[in-house]
A and B are shown apart, each in its own frame.
Chain A
Amino acid sequence: MTTTENSPEARYAGDTRTVTLRVNGQEVTREVPTRTTLADFLRDDLDLVSVHLGCEHGVCGCCTVLLDGGSVRSCLMLAVQAQGHEIETVESLSADQNNLHPIQEAFAEEQGLQCGFCTPAMVLRTKEILADGQERTDDEVRHEISGILCRCTGYQNIINAVQNAGRKLRCGGAGGCGSAHDEAKGA
C-alpha cells in the first residue's frame, strides 16, 4: 500500500507585501503575495508575457530578465526580492514589431529563432553580453549564451545573430558600417 504523503504547511497564508521597482523604465508599485515569483509578477500583474516559463526550476533560462543590467532567472526570484531594482524585459528594447531594436533586427536577419520561446531571453542576454562593445569569437558567444536552452535552432543562427547585432551596435544602429552583415560572418 502506498499513500500519498502530504505536508499541509499553511503556505496559502496570503502574506502580501508592497513592492516598488522600475520595470522597463517605469516605476511600479504593487501589493503582491510574498510567494509570487518575479516571473509570475511580470507576466500576470504587468502583462509582460514575453517572460516565458520553460521549466520553473532554474535550468532553461527562458525566463531570463535583466536586473540592474545583469541577467537573472525570474522563476527563481520572488517579486519582493526585486524591491528597489531595475528590471528589463524584451519590451524594453522594442515592443513595436514594425520598429525593432538592432538586436531584434539581427535575430530576424539571421533567423536566430524558430518558435520564439527562448527568444526574449536570448535577445536580453545578447544585450547584456554586447554591453562591453567588444568583438568576440563565435566560440566565445557560444559559451556566453550557453545558459539559455533553445530547442529549435541548434544555436548556430543565434550565434550569427549575436555577431550581427554586435556589428550593428558598434556601428551605431541598424544600417551602420555598410553591409558588414555577411562578409564578416566568416562562412
Chain B
Amino acid sequence: MTTVENEKPRYKYIGSDRKRVEDPRLLVGRGGYIADLKFPGLLHAAILRSPVPHATIRSIDATEALKLPGVVAVVTGEDCKAHMNPCMNFGPSSIPQFPLAVDKVRYVGEAVAAVIAESRYIAEDAVELLEVEFEDLPAVTNPVAAMEPGAALLHDGHGSNIGYERTFEFGDVAGAISGADLVVEDTLHWGRSAGMPMETSGAVARPGLNGVLEIYCNSLNFSYFSFLIAGALKLPSNRLTMNPVPAGGSFGSKFTAHKVPTLAGFLALRTGRPVSYVEDRLDHLMNSDHHASDRYYDAKMGFTSEGIITGLDVDVVDDYGAYMQFGVGTHGNAFSQIVGPYGFRNVKYHLRAVLTNKCQQGAYRGFGSEVHNWVLERLIDKAAVELGLKPEEIRRRNFITNDQFPYKIPGGNVYDSGNYPAVLDKALGMIDLEHWRSEQKRLREEEGRYIGIGLATTQERSVFSATEFWALNDNPDFPLTSSPESATVTIDPAGQFQLLLHCQSMWGNSPETVGTTVLAEEFGIEPETVNVRYADTARALPGTGPGGSRYTVMLAGAVRGASRKLQRKLIDIAAHSLEVAAEDLELVDARVQVKGAPEKSLSLPELASTAYFFALNMPPGMESGLEESYTYDHPYTTLPSADRSDLGVFYPIMGHACHIAVMEVDPDTGTTKFLDYVAVHDAGTMVNPKSLGGHVTGGAAQGLGSTLYEELAYDDEGQFKSSTFMDYLVPTANEVPPFRIGHVETPSPFTEYGIKGGGEGGRMVTPSVVSAAIDDALREYGMRVRELPVKPATIVATVQAAIAESSK
C-alpha cells in the first residue's frame, strides 16, 4: 500500500507512477550485463586467492599451469610491481594496493595470481595447478588487539595498524553529560555485511586502435576519475577509454570498485588480447573490492528528566580490514547527520580506523551513516525505557522544528528542510499502536506469546559533495570539491530525442526513467519515446554517478539545465521563422507557439528540420544542429574550516523516515516474525512514487538482512567463513514482510523541482526498528540488542540466562 499526502499535482509527469523505461529490455533478458559482452578472441581470467590471512609470498610456480592446453598466461604481483603503479586510493598513501598481492597477502581471498586462458573452465583448471609457497605471519583479527604494541603490522610502510585516529568535539560534551539527569551508556557492535548484488563485478578489457586500451565494466561510476586507473596502468589518460556497462545491482558494492577493471585492463595489456574477468560468487564474497562497516562502539548519551538529549559521546573502533581505499569516508557520512533529526548541540566522536587481516571496507547503502543512526536510536530507546516515555514521545520532544530550517548541525553540515512531526504522525496514523500495545499485553497474559513494538527514525542525507572524501583529514593529498553530473540532450533531424548520460548509472535504480521523465516535463513529449545512451570516458563530461542517493537530484539538475539551453535555441529559431519576438513565444506540448495564439506554432520536427537542413532560415550566427549539454554542480556545498571545528556543508539534501514494526519473538527458538511494518519516507518531491516505494522496500529488506541474517564472518585465525550463499544469508521472500509504505513530501529549497535522494533510507532505519521490537518483546528477560546480526542463539541465551538468574 502506498499513501501520499493529498495535494494537487504540480507536474504532468514528475510525481506519477509511471512504468520504467528500462524495464522492457530487462524483461526479455537483454540487460546488456558485463557477462553478456562477447568479443572475437576473448580470453577469460580466473584468480588464485590467498588461502591464508597473513603471509609472505615466497614463490609462485606456474610451470604446470602454463603447460595446460588453452592457457595463455599467468600474471602475478611481480608483474604488477614491474609494470604498474598502485591502484587509485583515497586513503593514506602509506597503504598502497595492487590488484594482485605484491610480496605479501593480507587477507583470505586476496588475489595472488591470475590465469588467462581460452575459456573460464580452462583458466580455473590452471588455477589449481599453480604452486604457491606462503610464509605465514601472525594473523591480526581483533581490532583492539591490533592496536597493541607488538601486534604484527599489516603495512610496514605505515608503521602502525591504526589507519586513522582522531577526536572531534562540537560543543561541550563533558558538561552535557555531567549536567544530565540521566546518562545511558552502551557497548555495541555492528557486524560486517555487504551490498551483495545478484550480479558480481566484472570487466572486459581489450587493446583498441591508436594504442587505446578499452575497458568495459559495471563498477566505476566516476567518469572523470578514469585518469586514476590510467595512472595505475601507466597509460596516458587519453589512451584509456572506460565504457559503462549496466550493472545487475550494486548497493554500494560497485561504487568505485576499481580493482576488477584495473586488473582486467592490466591483463589485456600484458597479453595484448581481449580479456574478460567476471568475479564468481566466491571472488565477490571474499574480495568484492569492499565489505561494509564493522564497528565497535562505546557510546554515551545524556538526557534531562524530560527526555531532552543533552549530548552524545561516541568512541568507535572500526575494523577496516587490510586496506583503506576510501579513507574514512564512511565516518564522514556519520558526521553528515550526527544528531539525527534531533536538536542537541554537543557531540564528541573518537574514531580509530584499524587495519586487520580482513577484506577492506567500502560502500554499502547508507555508507556508514546507517551504523551511526543505529547507535543513536539504540541509546534513545534505552533512555525512553528508563524515563518511562513512549518511543514516539521521546523522539517528538527532541525533533528539530519546522521553523529552524535550513538548520546547521554540530559539525557543520546543514539540513535543508524537513517536517519530522508530519512523518511521525503519518506513520502513527497508518498503524493502531494502542491496539498493538493492548494486544501485546493480552497475548502475553492469555497465550504466552511475546510481541514487541519498535519505532525508529532516520535522517537520510543525500547528494554528497566531494569534500566528504577528505574533510576528516588535516592535510589531504587532493582536496577536491567537485562532484558534478552531466547530461546531453539531442533532438535529431527528425525531431526525436536522444539523452546521453555521462557515467555508469544503471545499477537497478532508474536513471533512464528519471532523465526521460524530466525531459517529458520540459518538452511535453512522452518519456518512452526518448532513447537513452551512456557516454564512454573519451566522450564523457564530468559524471560522478549514483552513490549517496545523489543521482536523481543531480541528473534532474543536469537534464533540466540542458533542456533550458535547448528550449532557448528552439524559441530563437521559431522567433526567426515566425517573425515574432522570442518573449512572445512559449514551448507547450512539444510545440513552440505564440502566447495567446497557439494556432501560430511550429512543431519540434519542423524546428529540427530548420536547425539541421536550412541554415539560411536560422537566425544569423546561430550554429546548426540541436544538441546541448549541461554540467550540474553540487547545489550547496562549502569548505571545511582549517582546524576542522566545522566540516562544512557536504550532505545538505536531507530526507527523513520513520518506521514502526510489530514483531513476535519466540523466546525458546529465538526466531522472529513480523506482524505489521509501516515505513514512511520524506524524499522531497517524488519523481516516481512507485519506484521510490520499491527502493524503500528493497532497502528495508537489506536492512533486515544486516540486522538478522547477513554476516561476513572471519574466525579468530582470520579464516573466512561466509564463502557461499548457504553461509551468507540474503533474505528470501519468506523473510521479508510486506512493508506498508507511506510518503510525505517536503521539497528541498536547493534542488531542481525540490527532489531529495531516497535510495538508501530503507536500509538506514530497519536495523534500529527491528532491534527495538526484539527488545520490547522480551523486555521481561532484559533483552537488549547490542550486536548485529542478532542471532537466534543470542536471543535464546539471553532468555535462558534471565530465567536461570530469576530462579536462583
Residues of A within 8 A of B (CB): 1-4, 6-8, 11-12, 33, 35-36, 43, 48-57, 59-60, 62, 89-91, 94-98, 100, 104, 107-109, 111, 113-120, 123, 138, 142-143, 145-147, 149-159, 187
Contacts and interface: CB of A to CB of B under 8 A. Distances in A.
B23 A107 contact: yes
Contacts of B133: 1-3
Given A114-B509, A120-B29, A2 B248 contact: no
A149 B248 contact: no
A149 B35 contact: no
Contacts of A145: 733
Contact of A55 (B24, B697, B724): B724
Number of contact residues on B: which range applies? 35 or more
Contacts, number: 219
A146 B734 CA distance: 6
A59 B130 CA distance: 29
Contacts of A96: 28
B657 to A, nearest CB: 15
A53 B725 CA distance: 13
Interface stretch (B48-56, B233-241, B313-321, B640-648): B48-56
A153 B130 CA distance: 41
A151 B251 contact: yes
18 contacts: A2-B51, A4-B134, A6-B64, A12-B69, A12-B125, A43-B35, A50-B29, A57-B724, A89-B29, A94-B28, A96-B28, A108-B20, A114-B249, A114-B694, A115-B197, A117-B199, A154-B698, A155-B733
Contacts of B29: 48-51, 89-91, 95, 119-120
A157 B131 contact: no
Contacts of B2: 187
Given A4-B51, A12-B68, A154-B736, A113 B27 contact: yes
A68 to B, nearest CB: 20
Given A57-B725, A157-B690, 8 more contacts: A2-B136, A95-B28, A96-B28, A104-B27, A114-B509, A115-B508, A151-B702, A154-B739
A35 B121 contact: yes
B31 A116 contact: yes
Contact of A115 (B121, B132, B248, B701): B248
Contacts of A151: 195-198, 249, 251, 698, 702, 730
B694 A7 contact: no
B700 interface: yes
Nearest to B55: A2
Nearest to A62: B198
Contacts of B507: 115
A113 B702 contact: no
B597 interface: no
A116 B733 contact: no
B125 A11 contact: yes
B131 A4 contact: yes
Contacts of A3: 131-134
Given A143-B734, A159-B733, A114 B726 contact: no
Contacts of B509: 114
Given A60-B198, A97-B25, A152-B508, A8 B64 contact: yes
A117 B733 contact: no
Nearest to A103: B27
Interface of B: 1-2, 19-20, 22-31, 33, 35-36, 48, 51-52, 55, 58, 64, 68-70, 121-122, 125, 128-136, 195-199, 246-249, 251, 280-281, 506-510, 690-691, 693-695, 697-702, 724-726, 730, 732-734, 736, 738-739, 762
A149 B55 contact: no
B24 A98 contact: yes
Contacts of B36: 43, 49
Contact of A53 (B28, B35, B249, B697): B35
B122 A12 contact: yes
A89 B135 CA distance: 49
B466 to A, nearest CB: 26
A6 B48 CA distance: 12
A108 B18 CA distance: 10
B743 to A, nearest CB: 14
Contacts of A152: 197-198, 249, 508, 694, 698
B197 A117 contact: yes
A54 B198 contact: yes
Contacts of B697: 153-157
B738 A138 contact: yes
B31 A4 contact: no
B296 to A, nearest CB: 27
Given A151-B196, A154-B697, A6 B281 contact: no
A50 B248 CA distance: 12
Closest 5 CB pairs between A and B?
A50-B29, A115-B508, A116-B26, A117-B248, A154-B697
Contacts of B248: 52, 115-117
B724 A50 contact: no
Contacts of A118: 198
A28 to B, nearest CB: 17
A139 to B, nearest CB: 9
B251 A146 contact: no
A148 to B, nearest CB: 8
Contacts of B25: 97, 116
Contacts of A62: 198
Contacts of B508: 114-117, 152
Contacts of A59: 724-726
A131 to B, nearest CB: 19
A107 B198 contact: no
Q: With a 10 A CB-CB cut-off, give which of A36, A151, A159 has the most chain B CB atoms.
A: A151
B20 A111 contact: yes
A119 B199 CA distance: 12
Contact of B27 (A6, A97, A147, A153): A97
Given A151-B251, A156-B739, A6 B130 contact: yes
Contacts of B27: 90, 97, 100, 104, 107-108, 113, 116, 119, 123
A12 B247 contact: no
Contacts of B24: 97-98, 100, 108
Contacts of A36: 121
A56 B28 contact: no
A142 to B, nearest CB: 5
Contact of A146 (B690, B724, B733): B733
A120 B23 CA distance: 12
A143 B733 contact: yes
B129 A6 contact: yes
Contact of B70 (A12, A54, A138): A12
Nearest to B18: A111
Most buried by B among A60, A89, A94, A154: A154
